[in-house]
Structure 1
Amino acid sequence: MTFSWKRVNAILQKDFKDFSRNSAVSIIIFLPIILAAIYGRMGIDSLQVHFMTINMAFAMVGTYVQCCLIAEEKEKNTLRGLMLSPASTLEILGGKSLLTFVLTIVVVFFSAYLSEYRPASMGIVAFAIILSTLFYIGMGTLLGLVAKSVMESSVIVLPVIGVFTMGSFITAWTEKYPILKVAEFLPNIQLFELAEAVEQGAGFVQVFSELGIIGIWIVVIFALTVVVYRKRMVD
């Protein structure tokens, strides 16, 4: 079966209509932008604050919105119809992720712009942000497949928002609690460390390890997502 952009586009258009009708979900995308605007007007120029708003955009848009879109499909029993349609797994997951991907990139851009974050190397940071977006969308898809309803999806995504938004502050406690050193390998921590290295003049070669760890997270989360998705097909 060949990949069909027509089927992907049809899924994208349906998601856009569902998203625009759900005001409770669609209003979420404005929260990181508003917070970034407040920090920008306050003149706070801290890399941790910049990436707190960026990570909030990832968690609230990339994960939360995606999770709700998938859970809504399950709640309406329309996901089953998609699974049994001629569309392949790649077309369905790609189509269901495309809207969230665009929204996440737009919200991250405006959050960075309004908080006045200007990275030393736009190319490296932009590439890392695109990779991170894929991870958070994969996380949202996985949680959406696990959740039984939109209400449940709103609850199970809360720990993700907390850990990945405030996670960069965990590193301050690693000396007192050595077990927290594991958190240093989280994708949001790796993104922050990459941003720090970039500000010190690092190039792609110097941040390859951070990009590699984020890439591993992407592979793992999408592998789990495909496994759970195919399990739902035969339930």
Structure 2
Amino acid sequence: MTFKRVWAIFIKQWKDTIKNKAIFIQFVIFPIIALILTETIAKGNSEIPRTYFVVLFATMYAGMVPNVIMASIITEEKEQNTLRVLIMSNVKPLEYLLGVGSYTFLICSLGAVFFGVVGGYRGAELTAFVGILIIGILSSLILGSTIGILMKNQMSANSVVLPIAMVTAFLPMIAMFNKTFAKFSRFLYTQQINYLVNDLSKSNFTMERFLIIGVNIIAFLAIFLFAYRKGTFSE
């Protein structure tokens, strides 16, 4: 594995995103909505905390965007046979995944910083807020990559990744209003991410929360390794 090839994939994906407006919109839609709602509804309204919409949409962002984008990018390149050409050009599957994954991670991390700034976080609070979202982003990256590897085209990928992303993104919001859903969603990594970004006090950073997130990540990694070793990456 060479950094040069990983960097080349990174730059290629950057250029592709500039051309592909659908991918670009997915990166920015949740931060923009959070900004608009915060500035038009939460600002100056004592009944709604400034961080309300930020926390809500940041959780959705971490739980949905990396999933959908990774699955979409991988399966699109499969469909267009670009991925097969790259593999035949001595680009290893892991190099490709690192290139695309690092690009998606960087853009989503910038989105996390944007959410933090809109929410008015500063200093240690901003660092904690962004750090928690990054954990969620990494979890979703693994999940989205797995779906992209397993599916043969975008249509089949969308039929799988969208329902999963809807659950990871919107279940924490539903759980806010339904205690029954909350009993189940607490075992989901995005629910714990939501709990953490909603209250950045040290007392809320419990071992249980990070244990649940860790179990989710281990499960995603196990499925990812199975998919990767299955040998259908470029098919």
Cα distance in 1, alignment partners of residues 159 and 122 from structure 2: 34
Q: How many pairs align?
A: 228
Q: Within 5 A, what are the aligned runs for 1:81-120?
A: 81-83=85-87, 86-116=90-120
Q: Check the 8 A contact 2:59/2:133 in 1, yes or no.
A: no
Question: Corresponding residue for 2:74?
Answer: 70
1:168 aligns with 2:169: no
Question: Corresponding residue for 1:216?
Answer: 215
1:141 aligns with 2:145: yes
Cα distance in 2, alignment partners of residues 58 and 6 from structure 1: 28
- AA partner of residue 162 (structure 2): L
Question: Corresponding residue for 1:194?
Answer: 196
1:4 aligns with 2:2: yes
Gap regions ≥5 residues in structure 2? 43-47
Task: Give the structure-1-normalised TM-score.
Answer: 0.82
Classify 1:125/1:75 alpha carbon distance in 2 versus 1 (closer, same or farther; 3 Å): same
Q: Check the 8 A contact 1:83/1:233 in 2, yes or no.
A: no
- AA partner of residue 37 (structure 1): L
Question: Corresponding residue for 2:184?
Answer: 182
Aligned-pair identity (%): 28
SS in 2 for 1:157: helix
Task: Give the structure-2-normalised TM-score.
Answer: 0.82
Question: Corresponding residue for 1:156?
Answer: 160
- AA partner of residue 71 (structure 1): T
Gap regions ≥5 residues in structure 1? none
Residue 15 of structure 1 deviates from its aligned partner by 1.6
1:57 aligns with 2:55: no
Question: Corresponding residue for 1:226?
Answer: 225
CA root-mean-square deviation: 2.8
